[in-house]
Amino acid sequence: MNVDLVVVGSGFFGLTVARQCAEDLGKKVLVIDRRHHIGGNAYSEAEPETGIEVHRYGAHLFHTSNERVWEYCNRYTKFTDYVHRVFSIYQGEVFPLPVSLATINQYFRKALSPTEARALVAEQAGEIDTATAENFEDKAISLIGRPLYEAFFRGYTAKQWQTDPRELPGATVTRLPVRYTYDNRYFNDTYEGLPVDGYTAWLERLADHPNIEVRLETDFFDASQEVSKTNVLGNVPVIYTGPVDTYFDNAEGELSWRTLDFEQEVLPVGDFQGTSVMNYAEEGVPYTRIHEFRHFHPERDYPNDKTVIMREFSRFATSGDEPYYPVNTAEDRRKLLAYRDLAKQEKGVLFGGRLGTYKYLDMHMAIGAALSMVDNKLTPHFRDGAA
Ligand code: UDP
């Protein structure tokens, strides 16, 4: 095999590493992926009947405050000026998310000023000290108080994670800002937008380099393939972006992952819900949210008598399911430490991406981490022959 590097997995992490090594370091890179398409879970495609771009593995919203990542991404795609906003249905009423002055005033049927709203939430959150709150539930209550937590987070989180919120990390809830203004942008980042001609076009341009070959439907663990774990290890350096527990045959036990199921429908209406993502806060509704993809690209010329919606359901992944979200309970974190030790000892292999590191990385974080891996590990390795 005449290559300098094998990358397992063609998601943003894998393709960014591949591109940097191919372009800046002049290395020949082979990227393999088990699926029939590139891009991992960021892959999108046009729904055939309507032409509406559907994010096959759930909505992907690009946002970052990292200048380098933003500049890097702009080499391969232009971005629209899409700004993500999310609403949540609770007891038959629609509320804006994340929790803002609008949510607070609507929920309590008040017209509080920012100062008054802060005072009210502080009173309701007083039972828990933010500084010491570590788990999801304590952190949420310390930030927004128990009533808002119970309305907008408890039921949704029960469906999304099916794990006691006291077992989940507090960092998951702090992904969402809390604001005492009427600003209802979902993200706080400096830059935000969607790729003008879609995620797949962006990913394909990232992979499009004479030093990169992408081989699809190639399973790293299938020893009968030319490029498998058994015959590559020790011969060529490997960047592995699949699940870290799978790599080690679950030797330290299985890490828990959430997977998603999607129910897609083409409806004979121009607009189903008036917005791209509607969350369903209550446990009684089996899905967590409904995506309506036309709203991600209002600038496109989509048919106005049809729309594509996708209901999202979350459940524990079992073998054969696609892992999406690391659950990250205390038990998982113990196993992860053991896997990290194994990973460190694994000669010639570096682990990266959401699945390879068991971290809840957003796209911009995966891209940033890939750039750092090239800077800190691969450049010294290839350029200076360091280990
Ligand atoms: N969350 C919630 N209610 C909502 C939205 C989010 O309880 O309406 C919680 C939920 O536990 C979720 C976490 O906040 O997993 C992070 O939300 P985010 O929107 O970042 O999740 P993602 O879009 O990555 O699935």
CATH code for the domain of 237:
3.40.50.720
The answer to whether position 186 is within a domain reads no
6 Cα: distance to centroid of ligand 1 (angstroms): 34
Residues 163 and 102 in one domain: yes
Judge whether 300 counts as a catalytic residue: no
Atom of ligand 1 nearest to the CA of 186: 19
Among 109, 142, 175, the domain boundary falls at: 175
Q: How far apart are CA 31 and CA 227, in angstroms?
A: 10
Provide the percentage of residues in the chain whose pLDDT is more than 90.
91
Active site residue 175: yes
- With the most atoms of ligand 1 within 8 angstroms of its CB, the residue from 90, 173, 359 to mutate is 173
Which of 258, 230, 247, 234 is CA-nearest to residue 336? 247
Probe target for ligand 1 pocket from 41, 94, 159, 160, with the most ligand atoms within 8 Å of CB: 160
Per-residue burial over 188-208, b = 16 or more CB atoms within 10 Å of its CB, e = otherwise? eeebbbbbebbbbebbbbbbe
Give me the mean pLDDT over the 194-200 stretch.
Answer: 98
Q: How many domains does the chain have?
A: 3
* pLDDT over 50 at 167, yes or no: yes
Query: Same structural domain for residues 56 and 12?
Result: yes
**Whether pLDDT at 229 is above 60:** yes
Do 329 and 306 sit in the same domain of this protein? no
The pLDDT score that the predictor gives to residue 126 is 87
Instruction: Tell me which of 19, 56, 179, 354 is the catalytic residue.
Output: 179
Mean pLDDT of 96-113: 98
Per-residue pLDDT at 386 = 53
User: Which one from 312, 332, 339, 358 is the annotated catalytic residue?
Assistant: 312
CA-based nearest residue to 200, from 68, 77, 21, 61: 77
Q: In the Cβ-directed half-sphere of 119, how many Cα atoms lie within 13 Å? A: 5
157 lines ligand 1 (CB under 6 A): yes
Instruction: Let me know whether 37 and 58 are in one domain.
Output: yes
- 238 φ/ψ angles, rounded to the nearest 5 degrees: -125, 135
Is there a domain that residue 90 lies in? no
ipTM > 0.95 (yes/no) = yes
pLDDT tens, 263-300? 999 999 999 999 999 999 999 999 999 999 999 999 99
In this structure, are 236 and 351 located in the same domain?
A: yes
Of all atoms in ligand 1, which is nearest to the CA of residue 168?
11
102 and 171 in a single domain? The answer is yes
Whether residue 360 lies in the annotated active site: yes
More confident residue, 189 or 127: 189
Atom number, ligand 1, closest to the C-alpha of residue 61: 23
Q: Are residues 236 and 117 in the same domain?
A: no
In this prediction, residue 86 carries a pLDDT of 98
Q: Are residue 247 and residue 330 in the same domain, yes or no?
A: yes
Residue 279 CB less than 6 A away from ligand 1: yes
Comparing CA positions, the residue from 210, 192, 194 lying closest to residue 202 is 194
Catalytic residue among 19, 56, 289, 294: 289
Catalytic-residue membership of 45? no
Range of the domain at 123: 97-175
Same-domain check for residues 297 and 363: no
330 lies in the same domain as 200: yes
Q: Is 167 helix (H, G, I), strand (E, B) or coil?
A: coil
Residue 148 has pLDDT above 80, yes or no: yes
- Give the residue whose CA is nearest to atom 3 of ligand 1: 153
pLDDT for residue 33: 98
Question: Is residue 339 annotated as part of the catalytic site, yes or no?
Answer: no
Clarify whether 282 is annotated catalytic: no
